[in-house]
Structure 1
Amino acid sequence: MMQAFTEERARQVLAEAGLGASPADASLLTLGENAVFALETTVVKVGREHGLWERADRELRVATWLAEHDVPAVRPAEPKALLVAGHPVTVWHRLPPAVRAAGPADLAVLLRRVHALPEPPFALPRRELLGGVERWLRLAGDAIDPADAAYLRARKAGFADAADALVPHLTPGPLHGDALPRNVHITATGPVLVDLETFASDLREHDLVVMALTRDRYGLGADGYAQFASAYGWDVRQWEGCAVLRGARETASCAWVAQHTPGNPHALAEFRLRVASLREEDLSVRWSAL
């Protein structure tokens, strides 16, 4: 049986990594696909499982490539990913404290810069938005209703086929892949892009649909969304493929929550709410971010 990925487990891995700081002094920032710890001058990301190794290594290469193109983004403190007790570990320079919260327009400005970039000298994957669904459902195990898992698998298959048939409005190319204001850090010199692990080369509309879904499901106000669309220069909701990518992301978002349900009643309740809202096609149901 796979060992649960908890804060305690992540701290054990951090200790084994031998990065010169006491894990007891590390501050946990987030716990999801990675456990992210802040040390005195660095930030350390501990991946949930060995299968995330390739993605962790690519994230470091993306960060170096963005630096070469002067795109404000987090910079690696170590050039290579470590593999510690079966978990990928990456080390990053710690950013100074944020001067304010990031807003939709800050994100849009950074996306415009990313979307103007050519392909990097290394291969980026397609944005397999639904690629993690099976793994997340597997990690959920018996914590979720098998009927809900089967529903998401069927929904995944339908949206995967529909997405393959889309005709883009924007020129395909490099994109962030998880374009949310929470992945922007505001320093005294401006916004900085963080969490680069989902970088891909695909339909750039993927990055814009995220905020459209945030407006519909997570309560982003109309004014905030208007600021985002204005700063980017185009509203993805005008594109006929928007509903397809939006539905695919909803499916992936449900499955992502599933992996947190073992031993987490809050995650289980949120998972059930999300799946029910999809089954009932109820767009008025608001989801909560974990």
Structure 2
Amino acid sequence: MTAPTTITFGGFDDTEMHHVLERACTRVGLDCTGAIRLRGHTNAVVRLITEPVVVKIARRGSDETGVVRTVAFVQWLMKQNFPTAPLHPVAQQPVVVDGHAVTFWTYLPQPEHPVSAVQLAAPLRELHRLTDPPVRLRRLNVVEAIRSSLAATTSLPPQTLLFLADRAERLADELSQVAFMLPEGVVQGDPQHRNALHTKDGGAVLCDWDTVAYGQPEWDLATVEIHCRRFGHGPAHYRQFANAYGIDVTQWPGYRVLRDLRELRMITTNARKAAHAPGTLTEVERRISGLRCEDPQLAWNIL
């Protein structure tokens, strides 16, 4: 009899995920009986049913100092009354189990529909205006992130990797000529519908702070536009966001370069992860075919 395929979450199998979850919850006095998986790609995200808590488990070997930085940053945001998903008040975070950094968050009940782009405008604008966080944030470097992902990708043929690398270097040259319109500041790094949560009052809070960085806010604005266009939300959805934020990044001369680099980063990040999630490879290859055809309107499937 053929053994069933093991499903992986956050780059580790289901059995390991539950082992890490049990040990981490035991350390902080939480009961994980009947816990429900919510998401699993880079991290495993699990909701407890005994208490309103979401547990986020990073892949073994992930940068623990980065998780420590994220926790400190979110704790600072909470003190500023910033609209963020709140950390659960356990004594010490993160908890490290067998090389997995584990964090605990307060569960916010959600309706079936995701946060809309227009709901992202107010918290993003507030984030971009923050000054002097007490945590030293990494500097956003999209080009280096693309290069790093390509170097670690094992699921694509050499000619495809060369195509992506050549595209990255051409765009890097163009980026060096871009004149940004906004001052540098805190950026979320990956603002999108799935990285925000509804609140009871009809607003939204930002979450998934692993990508927080210091850099140009235009990257965040371009990312929102990409998600609206590529994932089927439509141009009206984006226009509502742009009107609420006060800037339409698509009318800025540097938009195309940022758009192309940001989309390339999304593709190469998923290409790197395909070794842990083979089901994503078909979609990655389809997106790359769209790049070869220079098709900015090709709809993408969510990974």
Deviation per residue, 1:143-164 (Å, 9 max, x gap): 3223222322333333334334
Instruction: State whether residues 119 and 174 of structure 1, in contact with CA within 8 Å, keep that contact through their aligned partners in structure 2.
Output: no
Residues 25 and 153 (structure 1), Cα distance of their counterparts in 2 relative to 1, 3 Å cut = farther
- Long gaps (5+) in structure 1: none
| Aligned counterpart for 2:189 among listed residues 150, 154, 177 | 177
Determine the structure 1 residue equivalent to 2:200: 188
- Long gaps (5+) in structure 2: 1-9
| Aligned counterpart for 1:199 among listed residues 212, 229, 253 | 212
Q: d(CA) in 1 for partners of 2:148 and 2:58? A: 14
| Aligned counterpart for 1:71 among listed residues 76, 82, 90 | 82
| Aligned counterpart for 1:155 among listed residues 167, 172, 186 | 167
Deviation per residue, 1:113-153 (Å, 9 max, x gap): 11121131221111223444355446542x32232223223
- With normalisation by structure 1, the TM-score equals 0.89
1:5 aligns with 2:12: yes
SS at match of 1:259: helix
SS at match of 1:25: coil
Determine the structure 2 residue equivalent to 1:101: 114
SS at match of 1:12: helix
Written as runs of structure 1 = structure 2, the 5 A alignment for 1:251-262 is 251-262=264-275
Amino acid at match of 1:25: G
Q: d(CA) in 2 for partners of 1:86 and 1:178? A: 25
| CA drift at 1:166 | 2.6
Written as runs of structure 1 = structure 2, the 5 A alignment for 1:165-244 is 165-189=177-201, 190-244=203-257
Instruction: State whether residues 98 and 185 of structure 1, in contact with CA within 8 Å, keep that contact through their aligned partners in structure 2.
Output: no
Amino acid at match of 1:38: R
Residues 256 and 186 (structure 1), Cα distance of their counterparts in 2 relative to 1, 3 Å cut = same
Which piece of structure 1 moves more, 259-268 or 213-222?
A: 259-268
Q: d(CA) in 1 for partners of 2:37 and 2:144? A: 27
Instruction: State whether residues 257 and 270 of structure 1, in contact with CA within 8 Å, keep that contact through their aligned partners in structure 2.
Output: no
- With normalisation by structure 2, the TM-score equals 0.86
Root-mean-square deviation over aligned CA pairs: 2.4
| Aligned counterpart for 1:128 among listed residues 127, 130, 141 | 141
Q: d(CA) in 2 for partners of 1:36 and 1:125? A: 24
